A and B are shown apart, each in its own frame.
Chain A
């Protein structure tokens, strides 16, 4: 036999292509076996989210979750309120969206659920600026969790364009987004690079940080921040009347510490005097700023366009503050323009407006103030009739009392009381005022 060279087997093109296709498929399928590891990593990183990339920072997240669980949360003063609200809205189940939401500053934070009636959440923020108020609404709007009714507590400084510190605490990234996306006003808003954010989910280093945090939390049983500092917020148990710190109630309102709530007259007036001296938000308020006034108008129109009922609420200042400002009007001229403008604006747009900056105008006595800026829930009861009544334009208890005193035939007296001159409303203890002013 002779050795013949082996003939090289020639594969057909179809066979080769099929071979390659099925081999590729086999490799792909085997790679898919590793997907559970990737999914686990993504799920775990998203769940723990130590840096708060997806679920917000740990401390505000804890607070928001406690509020949603119906707890009153301790250490209100240490909260990042804006972050808490953002996460509250984010985590709020759609079926639990309250019928009524209140926006405003700390001056609305005594507007409690029982004063409003129905399901209610108070989104008031300490030192809230116009930016904050609009941002809060936009949070709800963006998440598609709009309430039926919106109570906007309008502070005079919302129209003060001369004080650059007002918006310092506000989320200055969210606001341009609101302007552009909601009001259609061109702003410097840029779509965030979400890809970068989502990359964190497949970042093993982020996963490891989350694992370490979760293990430590499990071992110590304590929730901490990313840096290992303990989170000072706990559900409040026991008697709220004996609170040693300020707390946030599940309806968003603030429960002041017992000591503050029980201040005597002198303590209150000392604080009032101090606040009259500073009045940060109103400084340089020589006139209503056209930009913020226009923006407010557009904002209210936007809210109404979303089929949300609007109620405007003016929270009174302590009579001493009003008198102080009245007697020293330089730099506060704009302050006195706000209320009349708001009243005409409300009338023009058929929006119910309750309250006044002038306490005596709405029958709020000095005794119903915690300090110069914040009045007690009992005061609110006097000038706000509850959401149902407000939407029907019904009178407040003070108005009712006024009518009772002067009779239904003298209804114009009520109106006069509400729109009377500032000087008519300066009801303070003149003797004390004189003493305090000279001290």
Chain B
């Protein structure tokens, strides 16, 4: 079931009403039922539901066993088993063909053939396996207790607002809310509803309208010149942000209506002045997962190193997260390169931070108020865009090499009017651009004031209601309906 369908709206309305009708002890079971119904709605998921069940059962049993066995070796064995099962499914369904092709490339030199299977990964695989893995690692590290109730644990793994696109939740954060469901609170429900509407506007009005243009350019990059390729690349960064954050807004808003506070996934990433800050604001639940379960253990094991070697190890620990993150997104070289580039930018950023700060003090432009921040934000955006080209190329079937080569063509050939008509033909006409600029500004300005669900409840009716109507009309007149799924849903 996709968030941007009427079926979902109907389904969610039913679940929301029932949530506040059933007795509190029964609520988790209602949500579990709803979560599986949500998951099984898509026939392809129904065929592969055994994966979700297997991951749930294995991690629940292993975590329970770890909690009840004192011997470290046995505990480690259970950890390895659960890691093996989760990573095994992940590897098999997402990476088998990718690594098979790599292997085939090598064996091909000796006449061997690449192994290939017709596999369709179940939706949300990366999300629920990471969530389960985080849980067993936490139990292993004694950071949380194992959950005794298998059904409540099953709900934690499959909770429907988060299962397809995150945020990747933590047991301590979500389970406590299952245990103590909130009473009905009008402000929470109204705020949640507004956040859902907000998410739809971000996804269907901003992201999808940009997506029309980006798809047209990136699906045939060799047929477009520099101005188009540059615009598409710059816009794709914003498109993917609006797409993913919009989806998270819907998930978090839906959760809020049911009485949950889900983890925030974005905090205005393009307001970041450094690359590190950007990654602290982008896909936060995944970044924190990597930080907690990869970066921190690696730093712990390398804690003895000092001097340049220590720095080098520190940089490596930062760097390695990103290629892994790239692989998490998808099994293709494009995502890996995207990860490597991000890792490099992060490491270079860290390594040169002090020197850049010193240089900045001597930069006359930085003396002008707000200009420094603006330039820094532009630089961060451009660096992010340079990486995201690989991402977009993979997504739309273009080739990043052609995009980069094409960036330098066609400048000065076409007049402004010709370019404008070219952009309009690809879906970026004058009225669309105007609408995109205006709505993006509104989104950025309001989000700068804090979480929208809370912000809207502090506003007077004469601000709230025109905003509700405005957003509904924006959706009605400019929303792109029934055309695209959420980009991050496929990861």
A binding-site residues for B, Cβ under 8 Å: 20, 23, 26-27, 33-34, 37, 41, 203-205, 207-208, 211
Contact = CB atoms under 8 A, between A and B. Distances in A.
Interface in B439-470: 465, 468-469
B375 interface: no
A211 B189 CA distance: 33
B20 interface: yes
B479 A20 contact: no
A207 B480 CA distance: 12
Given A20-B20, A20-B184, A207 B189 contact: no
A241 B412 CA distance: 59
B476 A34 contact: no
B155 to A, nearest CB: 24
Given A27-B189, A37-B469, A204 B184 contact: no
A204 B479 contact: yes
A23 B469 CA distance: 22
Contacts of B468: 34
A272 B472 CA distance: 65
Interface of B is mostly: helix
B477 A211 contact: yes
A205 B472 contact: no
For the complex of A and B, the 10 pairs showing the least CB-CB separation, nearest first, are A205-B481, A204-B481, A37-B472, A204-B476, A205-B482, A204-B479, A23-B186, A41-B476, A34-B472, A211-B477
B476 A203 contact: no
Contacts of B478: 208
Contacts of B479: 204, 208
B360 interface: no
B346 interface: no
A205 B204 CA distance: 12
B106 interface: no
A413 to B, nearest CB: 74
B481 A37 contact: no
Nearest to A30: B190
29 contacts: A20-B20, A20-B184, A23-B184, A23-B186, A26-B186, A27-B186, A27-B189, A33-B465, A34-B468, A34-B472, A37-B469, A37-B472, A37-B473, A37-B476, A41-B476, A203-B481, A204-B475, A204-B476, A204-B479, A204-B481, A205-B481, A205-B482, A207-B476, A208-B476, A208-B477, A208-B478, A208-B479, A208-B481, A211-B477
A34 B468 CA distance: 9
Contacts of A207: 476
Contacts of A211: 477
B16 to A, nearest CB: 10
B401 to A, nearest CB: 36
Interface of A is mostly: helix
A20 B477 CA distance: 35
B19 to A, nearest CB: 12
Contacts of B475: 204
A109 B473 CA distance: 50
Given A23-B184, A208-B477, A208-B481, 17 more contacts: A20-B20, A23-B186, A26-B186, A27-B186, A27-B189, A33-B465, A34-B468, A34-B472, A37-B469, A37-B472, A37-B473, A204-B475, A204-B479, A204-B481, A205-B482, A207-B476, A208-B479
Contacts of A208: 476-479, 481
A307 B469 CA distance: 55
Contacts of A23: 184, 186
A51 B164 CA distance: 36
B344 to A, nearest CB: 43
A220 B465 CA distance: 35
Nearest to B469: A37
A12 to B, nearest CB: 16
Contacts of B473: 37
A214 to B, nearest CB: 12
B24 to A, nearest CB: 12
A27 to B, nearest CB: 7
A41 B473 CA distance: 10
Contacts of B469: 37
A86 B473 CA distance: 35
B160 to A, nearest CB: 22
A150 B482 CA distance: 49
Contacts of B481: 203-205, 208
Nearest to A205: B481
Contacts of A33: 465
Interface in B281-340: none
A32 to B, nearest CB: 13
Interface in B168-188: 184, 186
Contacts of A41: 476
Nearest to A206: B481
Q: Which of A37, A204, A208, A211 has the most CB of B within 10 A?
A: A204
B351 to A, nearest CB: 50
Interface in B183-210: 184, 186, 189
A331 to B, nearest CB: 54
A122 to B, nearest CB: 44
B194 to A, nearest CB: 12
Contacts of A26: 186
A203 B5 CA distance: 11
Nearest to B478: A208
B81 to A, nearest CB: 45
A242 B383 CA distance: 72
A204 B479 CA distance: 8
Contacts of A205: 481-482
A261 B477 CA distance: 52
Nearest to B483: A205
Contacts of B186: 23, 26-27
Nearest to B17: A24
A33 B461 CA distance: 13
Contacts of B20: 20
A211 B465 CA distance: 24
Contacts of B189: 27
B156 to A, nearest CB: 28
Interface in B68-86: none
A34 B476 CA distance: 12
Q: Which of B468, B472, B476, B478 has the most CB of A within 10 A?
A: B476
Interface string B93-105: 0000000000000
Contacts of B184: 20, 23
Interface in B334-365: none
Interface string B145-158: 00000000000000
A20 B186 CA distance: 10
Interface string B35-76: 000000000000000000000000000000000000000000
A33 B193 CA distance: 15
B188 to A, nearest CB: 12
Q: Which of B189, B472, B477 has the most CB of A within 10 A?
A: B477
Interface in B98-142: none
Q: Which of A34, A203, A208 has the most CB of B within 10 A?
A: A208
Nearest to A19: B184
A33 B465 CA distance: 10
Contacts of A37: 469, 472-473, 476
Nearest to B465: A33
A152 B478 CA distance: 52
A204 B483 CA distance: 12
Contacts of A203: 481
A201 to B, nearest CB: 13
A207 B479 CA distance: 11
A33 B466 CA distance: 12
Nearest to B20: A20
